[in-house]
Structure 1
Amino acid sequence: MKTLVPSQKSSYDSLKTNRKGHYQSYLFPNLRVTVVIPAYNEESNIGETLAQIPKNISNKMEIIVVDDGSVDKTYEIASQYDINIIRHPKNRGNGAATKTGLNFCKKINCDVVVILDGDGQHDPKYISKFIEPIFKDSIEFVIGNRFTSYYNMNALRKFCSKLMTAFYFLLLRKKISDPTNGYRALSSKVINNIGFESEYSLTQEMLFKIIPK
């Protein structure tokens, strides 16, 4: 594990760490996969989230936790795992933490980036399902859908999400089943060629910049 507090003078190259697995067979051998996990005060969830990430994804998989200024034991718990940790000196929000992770991914030249939250709502066992369309079908962007059986959403959140689906359909003329879902995967083409600017509405910015009109 190595740690970096981002600043204008920081060098992301010093963070490069290979994750050592013990599996002889990988689902995506030699594919440079990076899992980005923004986390803020997630001491109750971050350990389990990291422990559940499958070790047979790729022999070149990196895991990055972006500790967004946590004041609990998020950093201490994450430090127990063979991963990279980037720390924000103060809390800046989920969008800013995700953006920091994506900027790191540009530096290490990865093939696929998977983004999942550190609060336990995104099941890491589905990581391969996000990677597969990009690896096999040259898809550039994959977004999760919480309206499937694995995720229990209360009635109010489900109603609000349905409204957002209709709203984005009107704007983008594309049906996106769960447009506010933060569980996503992006190809290297998207990471390297599209600049994300927002730190507060990054989830929405991705949709408008990636999905063709």
Structure 2
Amino acid sequence: MNWGKCMNNSVDGAEPKIAVVIPCYRVGKLVLDLIPRIGSEVGWIFIVDDACPVNTGDLVLAECKDSRVHVIKHAQNQGVGGATITGYKAAAQTAAIAVVKLDGDGQMDPALIGRLSRPIVAGRSDYVKGNRFHRIRDVSSMPWVRLFGNAGLSFLTKLSSGYWQLFDPTNGFTAIHRDVLQELELDNIAKRYFFESDMLYNLNQVRAVVTEMPMWAVYGDEPSSLNPAKVMLPFLKGNLRNFGRRLVYSYFIRNFSLASLELLFSIPLILFSIFYGGWHWVEGRISGLPTVPGIVMTAALPLIIGVQLFLSWLNYDVANQPTQPIHPFINEGDDV
């Protein structure tokens, strides 16, 4: 991994509190147009060249005039998540309060960086994500393939992460408190396109407060690098794995409550009803004989009770989202 820095111009104005990480792969000169649009509230800009075939890092080193810019080059491609994690580790060594991830293709407006970071700087949130679905006018301009693909991926991420209030969890325009980075096992977070969803799962495990900022997205004629048809199966697999891990850690290892019992009993009851009732239904269809009322009740009653228990657990899970930011307490022991 190689480092480089642009050596001109200083940042004027108030002391900056924000660092920006820009993962770059096939970005090229687009990032050169993006950097000048990043305001003085940002004191550090980390360009992570993820073994870019168009040598974006070298281009920035040769042509940028901004002293805030540091270039990090990967010898091998690690994916958007791997590039972002490299930038996070570098930003964690600065004096920044908030660390923003910004794509280099211009689809995220740098003018929103301050607004995105405000809840973190003010101490109200640990992690903030953009939400492209907040305004109807923004949704109407979104390509329908992206709209339906993101809706499906968003639901899976809600299920696996436990952040049910998020409506655009696959959005890559994010800000995180620098101190929260040290609470995460960054090297164990997914490196490719599953990074955003896996990040939310890991944030839930440390009980970080996650909020959203309404935003608009700019879509040009460039093809999306995220093909919903290709990533749906890997996303389904990853989210189901995280969902199972979250249930075990949150309801049976780290905590055990009435909701744990509701979950523990609801699933076996529902499965019993489905298999028991289905077996006798098939048997009745083959034999042509009517199903005995006792069998119907034996299948229906556990299903009713199981569904009620599951809905009660789901209500608890939706309400059991972190509300107290963790970053003020991470280093409090250092002052003792």
Query: What TM-score range do you get, normalising by the shorter chain?
Result: 0.7 to 0.9
Cα offsets for 1:6-63 (capped at 9, x unmatched) = 7xxxxxxx979897124x4xxxx434321000001211411111121123x15xx101
Once the two structures are TM-superposed, the CA of residue 169 in structure 1 deviates from its matched residue by 2.8
CA contact (8 A) 2:22 2:104 kept: yes
Cα offsets for 1:50-94 (capped at 9, x unmatched) = 121123x15xx1011001111214224322222100001232211
Higher relative contact order (CA 8 A, sep 6+): 1
Q: 1:173 to 1:33 in 2, by over 3 A?
A: closer
Cα offsets for 1:183-209 (capped at 9, x unmatched) = 100002211221222322321221011
Residue 143 of structure 2 is matched in structure 1 by 154
Structure with greater proportional helix content: 2
Residue 111 of structure 1 is matched in structure 2 by 97
Once the two structures are TM-superposed, the CA of residue 107 in structure 1 deviates from its matched residue by 2.4
Cα offsets for 1:160-184 (capped at 9, x unmatched) = 1112222233331522111111110
Greater C-alpha Rg: 2
Amino acid at match of 1:209: N
**Counterpart selection for 1:142 from 103, 120, 128:** 128
Residue 199 of structure 2 is matched in structure 1 by 206
Among all aligned residue pairs of Structure 1 and Structure 2, give the percentage whose two residues are the same amino acid.
27
Which secondary structure state, in structure 2, belongs to the residue aligned with residue 153 of structure 1? coil
Once the two structures are TM-superposed, the CA of residue 154 in structure 1 deviates from its matched residue by 0.4
Amino acid at match of 1:175: Q
How far apart, in 2, do the equivalents of 1:69 and 1:37 lie?
Answer: 14
Matches within 5 A, 1:6-17: none
Which secondary structure state, in structure 2, belongs to the residue aligned with residue 138 of structure 1? coil
Residue 158 of structure 2 is matched in structure 1 by 169
Once the two structures are TM-superposed, the CA of residue 142 in structure 1 deviates from its matched residue by 0.1
Residue 89 of structure 1 is matched in structure 2 by 75
Structure 1 residue runs of 5 or longer lacking an equivalent are: 7-13
CA contact (8 A) 1:140 1:190 kept: yes
**Counterpart selection for 1:102 from 69, 80, 88:** 88
Residue 11 of structure 1 is matched in structure 2 by none
Residue 71 of structure 1 is matched in structure 2 by 53
Residue 44 (structure 2) pairs with residue 51 (structure 1)? no
Q: RMSD value over aligned CA atoms?
A: 2.5
CA contact (8 A) 1:64 1:84 kept: yes
TM-score of the aligned structures, taking structure 2 as reference length: 0.53
Q: 1:104 to 1:17 in 2, by over 3 A?
A: farther
**Counterpart selection for 2:169 from 179, 183, 189:** 179
Residue 2 (structure 2) pairs with residue 5 (structure 1)? yes
- 4+ long deviations beyond 6 Å: 14-19
Once the two structures are TM-superposed, the CA of residue 136 in structure 1 deviates from its matched residue by 1.7
Amino acid at match of 1:53: I
CA contact (8 A) 1:37 1:118 kept: yes
How far apart, in 1, do the equivalents of 2:58 and 2:138 lie?
Answer: 30
Q: 1:77 to 1:186 in 2, by over 3 A?
A: same
How far apart, in 1, do the equivalents of 2:28 and 2:130 lie?
Answer: 24
Which secondary structure state, in structure 2, belongs to the residue aligned with residue 113 of structure 1? strand
Q: 1:75 to 1:31 in 2, by over 3 A?
A: closer
How far apart, in 2, do the equivalents of 1:173 and 1:138 lie?
Answer: 16
Which secondary structure state, in structure 2, belongs to the residue aligned with residue 144 of structure 1? strand
CA contact (8 A) 2:46 2:91 kept: no
Residue 116 (structure 2) pairs with residue 126 (structure 1)? no
Which secondary structure state, in structure 2, belongs to the residue aligned with residue 64 of structure 1? strand
Residue 180 (structure 2) pairs with residue 190 (structure 1)? yes
